[in-house]
């Protein structure tokens, strides 16, 4: 008998059907605020706005409400300002647990500090009010997102984007932070399209790993970096908010960066924005997969394929793991000065860098020469969100996706704290790369963390 169907007669989709609400707010600070944290900058005062800074909240209703908040901000290097003053206040207002909130920072290098103790330069007098504005806005949009919760479909898909390049450049016996054309980075882009049951676009999730360092010290403009232009492209096309979730970026940055010309950031953003639209265009209608239908006779035998309805995965699971990792010998202030003094632009910046190192140890460094590195695992239908506080080298997300192809994996750097540290591979330590000097982790921390995450995924049956 002649076969009438192919061996593989369908292509599955990665889906979720969940109760979701979304809201966003403009958190752009006033002109004149301190917003140029580069060590080489001669002034920190902002003189204008390139594009607005945004906060976006996603509420996911399960046994309890879960929230993902994205902020166009740099970093929060202080336990007091991050955990105590910010996130604990937010969860108290929302009536949820601290682990029910993921705050992902875009890591733009052209926003005001979100830490009172980091406000050391010109324009610092405006920082306290700005921080309060951000906290109030986060509470407000989370509450609004909660009121808008409704059944929605998420279509997950991998795409590609060539914005990011490897930023460890060998010069002599060490690596400097800049474009390395000799190594090909991971170009994986993750996109989630959220639609309501009427098929209308509600929000777009983007997970991509690339440092927002397009705009350098010569610009005095407040800027979300490349995320701003990418957001404009995606939101103009979809009519819905975009949540940018920074991915594994410890050794990834744009090819053109550190520029005083903000049009460089816009062009970088166009790469991400149009790559996102291309990925959205490839998606099938919500809650469908592609199925073979028939052999069509039309001069030659043609294969017919059409979308068919399927029941999306509605599973929601959330858990947290503290990975026990070895840390390096902890430096005192004199040792930090000796190590970093020659590469730091000013005494003021050196003092901040030293203070930040001590702050990173609070509730992170534990007895016995180890740290407890927090990792959050959220299953959203056919996708798995893995979030942590550090900046992992891109190989972390790349390898986890290779090992677990049955899930679309969103890997989030710069999420919650404490422990905003780099997680570099062993080779970075051997080359004395910047990331290996900034981190608290001993060599081998990357490799140990990879195996810990992998084992946890397998053990919980994600």
Q: Express each pLDDT in 384-435 by its tens digit.
A: 999 999 999 999 999 999 999 999 999 999 999 766 899 999 999 999 999 9
pLDDT at 10: 96
Across residues 156-168, what is the average pLDDT?
98
Q: CA-CA distance, 251 to 24, in Å (whole number)? A: 30
CA distance 358 to 335: 13
* Cα atoms in the 13 Å half-sphere on the side-chain side of 365: 17
Evaluate whether residue 301 is within a structural domain: no
Whether residue 462 has pLDDT greater than 70: yes
Does any domain span residue 310? no
| Torsion 50-410-70-16 (CA) sign | positive
Tell me: pLDDT of 303 over 80.
yes
70: confidence class by pLDDT, cuts 50, 70, 90: very high
Parent domain of 107: 14-282
Instruction: Check residue 116 and report its DSSP letter.
Output: G
pLDDT at 346: 76
Residue 275 has pLDDT above 70, yes or no: yes
pTM here is 0.95
**What's residue 60's pLDDT?**
98
Cα distances (Å, whole numbers) of residue 384 to 3, 107, 376, 379: 38, 22, 10, 5
Of 282, 307, 325, which residue constitutes the final position of a domain?
Answer: 282
- 80-118 pLDDT per residue, tens: 899 999 999 999 999 999 999 999 999 999 999 999 888
CA distances from 392 to 284, 354, 360 (A): 32, 22, 16
Phi (first) and psi of residue 372, to 5 degrees = -110, 105
Query: Do residues 244 and 324 both lie within one domain?
Result: no
Mean pLDDT, the chain, integer:
95
Share of the chain above pLDDT 70, in %: 99
- Which helix (H) or strand (E) segment holds residue 358: the answer is helix 347-360
Residues 278 and 328 in one domain: no
Indicate whether 35 and 116 sit together in one domain. yes
Cβ atoms of residues 34 and 113 within 8 Å: yes
274 and 335 within one domain: no
Q: What is the pLDDT of residue 419?
A: 67
Length of the chain: 462
Same-domain check for residues 275 and 321: no
Q: In the prediction, which pLDDT does 78 show? A: 83
Q: Is 288 a domain residue?
A: no
The string of pLDDT tens digits covering residues 350-388 is 887 788 778 888 889 999 999 999 999 999 999 999 999
Radius of gyration of the CA atoms of the chain, in A? 22
Averaged pLDDT, 315-319: 97
pLDDT digits (tens, 9 = 90+) for 216-239: 999 999 999 999 999 999 999 999
Confidence at residue 418, expressed as pLDDT on a 0 to 100 scale: 67
Which string of DSSP letters, residue by residue, matches 142-196? HHHHHHT-EEEEEEEEEEE---EEE-EEEETTEEEES--TTS----EEEEEEEEE
Count of the separate structural domains present in the chain? 2
Whole-number pLDDT of residue 117: 85
Domain boundary among 282, 308, 341: 282
Could you tell me if 271 and 333 lie in one domain? no
The torsion region of residue 146 among left (phi > 0), alpha (psi -120 to 50) and beta comes to alpha
């Amino acid at each position: 008998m002649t076969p009438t169907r192919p061996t593989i007669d369908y292509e599955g989709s990665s889906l979720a059907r969940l109760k979701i609400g979304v809201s966003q707010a403009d958190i752009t600070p006033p002109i004149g605020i301190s917003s140029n944290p580069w060590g080489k900058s001669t002034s920190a005062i902002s003189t204008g706005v390139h594009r607005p800074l945004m906060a976006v909240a996603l509420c996911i209703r399960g046994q309890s409400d879960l929230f993902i908040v994205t902020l166009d901000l740099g970093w929060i290097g202080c336990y007091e300002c991050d955990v105590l003053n910010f996130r604990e206040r937010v969860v108290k207002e929302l009536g949820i647990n601290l682990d029910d909130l993921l705050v992902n920072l875009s890591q733009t290098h052209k926003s005001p500090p979100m830490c009172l103790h980091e406000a050391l330069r010109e324009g610092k007098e405006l920082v306290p009010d700005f921080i309060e504005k951000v906290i109030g806005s986060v509470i407000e949009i989370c509450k609004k997102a909660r009121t808008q919760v409704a059944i929605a479909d998420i279509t997950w898909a991998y795409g590609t984007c060539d914005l990011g390049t490897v930023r460890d450049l060998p010069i002599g016996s060490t690596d400097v932070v800049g474009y390395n054309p000799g190594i090909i980075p991971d170009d994986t882009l993750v996109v989630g399209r959220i639609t309501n049951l009427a098929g209308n676009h509600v929000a777009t999730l983007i997970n991509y790993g690339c440092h927002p360092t397009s705009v350098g010290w010569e610009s005095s403009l407040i800027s979300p970096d490349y995320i701003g232009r990418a957001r404009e492209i995606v939101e103009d096309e979809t009519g819905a908010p975009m949540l940018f979730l920074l991915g594994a970026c410890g050794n990834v940055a744009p090819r053109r960066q550190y520029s005083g010309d903000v049009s460089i950031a816009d062009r970088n953003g166009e790469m991400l924005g149009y790559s996102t639209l291309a990925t959205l265009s490839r998606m099938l209608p919500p809650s469908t997969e592609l199925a073979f239908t028939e052999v069509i006779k039309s001069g030659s035998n043609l294969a017919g394929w059409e979308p068919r309805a399927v029941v999306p995965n509605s599973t929601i699971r959330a858990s947290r793991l503290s990975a026990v990792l070895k840390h390096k010998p902890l430096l005192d202030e004199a040792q930090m000065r000796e190590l970093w003094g020659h590469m730091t632009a000013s005494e003021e910046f050196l003092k901040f860098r030293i203070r930040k190192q001590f702050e990173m140890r609070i509730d992170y460094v534990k007895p016995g020469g180890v740290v407890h590195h927090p990792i959050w695992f959220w299953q959203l239908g056919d996708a798995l969100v893995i979030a942590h506080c550090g900046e992992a080298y891109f190989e972390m997300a790349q390898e986890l996706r290779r090992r677990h192809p049955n899930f679309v994996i969103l890997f989030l750097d710069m999420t919650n704290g404490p422990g905003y540290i780099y997680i570099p591979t062993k080779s970075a330590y051997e080359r004395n790369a910047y990331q290996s000097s900034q981190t608290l982790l001993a060599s081998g921390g990357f490799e140990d963390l990879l195996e810990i995450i992998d084992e946890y995924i397998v053990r919980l049956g994600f």
